[in-house]
């Protein structure tokens, strides 16, 4: 769904550029809470993985293809604010190095595919996770549902922008129904990929899946606590041992 | 309870998968127009698209300019993209991450810059 230059007029492109820049600025601050020494490396890898899977267009209808957008996937794996940073990086690299998506359309592409998909995907994920049984197996399912909904909503987001700043006179109703139809199919592919990717990581290291944490901490505290010390994975935040950093720093200096 | 793979193994696995998908599997991806391209053609606004100002980039269109073999060209471009995204996104998220609180005097002094000992 990479929007090329020329589809939207200058004021709309500037507006989406401001929205994208503001959101990335906020995300830079908020992502800090999601990132530590273990999750930061995962975030870079999730961005690289999303880039790779975005190259894999799958056929969805006669003569039409689609690829993963990755908003719900990244939000569930590394947290929504970090996901915004990861996806924005992907779209910037695609636009600058690969000429995929326009330069003036970069704000539009970050807004639609990096903000809308993350927001919608993560909210649907949270709602589904709250409704589904409270166990780890629900996490990939909820992520898939978030992915499924996120793609057609982003497609409608494009139609909304086109209604405001489209450069060609078109029948918006026809554009909306065509966009919704094809992107519902792409959303099914998005859901399958997201389910498989989240399911794989939940199976091997659920503690590395941001969206799985509420189910883990309770269990790890009561049952798995001793294992954490043995394998050194450090699932839970370690509380300070009581040493006073400020005084020890002065002593060492 | 079986042992879990270490973070290092998981990271290596994800990286290897990304490199194989972008470097090898991408050759077999569908080359049909994507959803937006297809709809813009049907609905008559495809022609308003203008060529990207980065279309003369050596990696434009997911190929390496000057490499004739399509499989090699696309594969190299995919691998380059994975590496660039990993470095940029990984560097950014590493830079903004929460720093662990120093847990003991030794850790605190070991990780500190030698600024205090000038």
All structural domains of chain A, each given as residue ranges with its CATH number in brackets, are: 10-227 (1.10.1760.20)
Domain extent at residue B74: 70-98
pLDDT, tens digit, 9 for 90 and up, residues A115-128: 999 999 999 999 99
Q: DSSP character for B49?
A: -
pLDDT, tens digit, 9 for 90 and up, residues A164-223: 999 999 999 999 999 999 999 999 999 999 999 999 999 999 999 999 999 986 544 545
Q: Going by DSSP bridges, is the β-strand pair A64-66/A58-61 parallel, antiparallel, or unpaired?
A: antiparallel
pLDDT of the residue at A62: 83
The answer to whether residue B114 sits within a structural domain is no
Which residues from B are below 8 Å from A66, CB to CB?
34-35
Q: Which of A125, A241, A250 is nearest to A191 (CA)?
A: A125
The answer to whether residue B34 sits within a structural domain is no
Q: Which of B58, B61, B69, B75 is nearest to B19 (CA)?
A: B75
Contact A6 B50 (CB under 8 A): yes
What's the ipTM? 0.85
Average pLDDT, chain A: 89
The answer to whether residue B84 sits within a structural domain is yes
* Interchain contact B26–A (C-beta under 8 A): yes
Kindly give the confidence (pLDDT) of every residue in chain B, 118 residues in length, as a single tens digit, with 9 standing for 90 and above.
Answer: 567 899 999 999 999 999 999 999 999 999 999 999 999 999 999 999 999 999 999 999 999 999 999 999 999 999 999 999 999 999 999 999 998 766 554 444 444 444 444 4
Locate the chain B residue with the closest alpha carbon to A49. B18
Contact B49 A98 (CB under 8 A): no
CA distance B75 to A58: 17
Locate the chain A residue with the closest alpha carbon to B21. A52
**CB A175, CB A159: distance < 8 Å:** yes
CA distance B100 to B106: 14
**CB A205, CB B4: distance < 8 Å:** yes
Number of independent structural domains in chain B: 1
CA distance A206 to A234: 13
List, as ranges, residues 48-67 from B with C-beta within 8 Å of A.
48-55, 57, 59-62
Contact B96 A31 (CB under 8 A): yes
pLDDT of the residue at A235: 43
Q: Which ranges of chain A have pLDDT less than 50? A: 219-220, 222, 224-225, 227-253
Which of A12, A39, A52 is the best mutation test for B, with the most CBs of B within 10 A?
A: A52
* A66 → closest Cβ in B34, B44, B102: B34
CA distance A212 to chain B (A): 16
CA distance B4 to chain A (A): 6
pLDDT of the residue at B2: 60
Count of A–B CB contacts within 8 Å? 279
Which residues from A are below 8 Å from B42, CB to CB?
178
Straight-line distance from the first to the last Cα atom of chain B, in angstroms, rounded to the nearest whole number: 51
CA distance A204 to B114: 40
The answer to whether residue B61 sits within a structural domain is no
Please give, one letter per residue, the 3-state secondary structure of chain A: CCCCECCECHHHHHHHHHHHHHHHHHHHHHHHHCCCCCHHHHHHHHHHHHHHHHCCCEEEECCEEECCCCHHHHHHHHCHHHHHHHHHHHHHHHHHHHCCCCCCCHHHHHHHHHHHHHHHHHHHHHHHHHHCCCCCCHHHHHHHHHHHHHHHHHHHHHHHHHHHHECCCCCHHHHHHHHHHHHHHHHHHHHHHHHHHHHHHHHHCHHHCHHHHHHHHHHHHHHHHHHHHHHCCCCCCCCCCCCCHHHHHHHHC
Locate the chain B residue with the closest alpha carbon to A68. B34
CA distance A122 to chain B (A): 19
Spell A41-50 as b/e; 16+ CB within 10 A means b: bbbbbbbbbb
The answer to whether residue B80 sits within a structural domain is yes
Token pair listed for B69? 């073999």
pLDDT of the residue at B103: 58
The answer to whether residue B49 sits within a structural domain is no
The answer to whether residue B88 sits within a structural domain is yes
The answer to whether residue B91 sits within a structural domain is yes
pLDDT of the residue at A186: 98
* A96 → closest Cβ in B14, B54, B87: B54
pLDDT of the residue at B3: 73
pLDDT of the residue at A217: 64
């Amino acid at each position: 769904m990479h929007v090329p230059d020329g589809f939207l007029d200058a004021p709309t492109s500037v507006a989406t550029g401001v929205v994208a820049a503001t959101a990335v600025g906020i995300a830079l601050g908020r992502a800090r809470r999601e990132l530590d020494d273990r999750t930061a490396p995962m975030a870079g890898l999730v961005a690289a993985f999303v880039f790779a899977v975005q190259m894999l267009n799958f056929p969805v209808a006669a003569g039409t293809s689609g690829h993963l957008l990755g908003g719900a996937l990244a939000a569930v794996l590394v947290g929504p604010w970090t996901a915004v940073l990861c996806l924005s990086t992907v779209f910037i690299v695609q636009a600058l190095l690969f000429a995929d998506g326009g330069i003036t359309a970069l704000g539009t592409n970050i807004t639609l595919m990096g903000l809308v998909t993350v927001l919608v995907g993560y909210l649907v994920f949270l709602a589904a996770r709250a409704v589904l049984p409270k166990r780890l197996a629900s996490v990939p399912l909820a992520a898939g549902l978030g992915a499924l909904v996120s793609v057609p909503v982003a497609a409608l987001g494009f139609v909304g922008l086109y209604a405001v700043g489209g450069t060609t006179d078109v029948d918006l109703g026809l554009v909306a129904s065509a966009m919704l139809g094809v992107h519902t199919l792409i959303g099914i592919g998005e859901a399958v990929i997201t389910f498989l990717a989240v399911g794989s990581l939940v199976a091997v290291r659920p503690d590395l899946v941001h969206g799985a944490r509420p189910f883990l901490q309770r269990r790890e505290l009561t049952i798995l606590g001793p294992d954490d010390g043995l394998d050194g994975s450090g699932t839970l935040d370690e509380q300070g041992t009581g040493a006073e950093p400020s005084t020890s720093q002065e002593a060492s200096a | 309870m079986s042992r879990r793979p270490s973070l290092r193994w998981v990271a290596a696995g994800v990286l290897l998968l990304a490199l194989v998908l972008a470097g090898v599997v991408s050759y077999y991806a569908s080359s049909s127009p994507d959803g937006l391209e297809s709809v813009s053609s049907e609905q008559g606004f495809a022609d308003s698209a203008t060529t990207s100002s980065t279309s003369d980039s050596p990696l434009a269109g997911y190929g390496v300019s000057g490499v004739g073999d399509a499989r090699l060209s696309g594969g190299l471009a995919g691998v380059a993209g994975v590496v660039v995204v990993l470095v940029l996104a990984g560097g950014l998220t590493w830079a903004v991450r929460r720093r662990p609180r120093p847990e003991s005097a030794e850790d605190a002094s070991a990780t500190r810059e030698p600024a205090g000992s000038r």
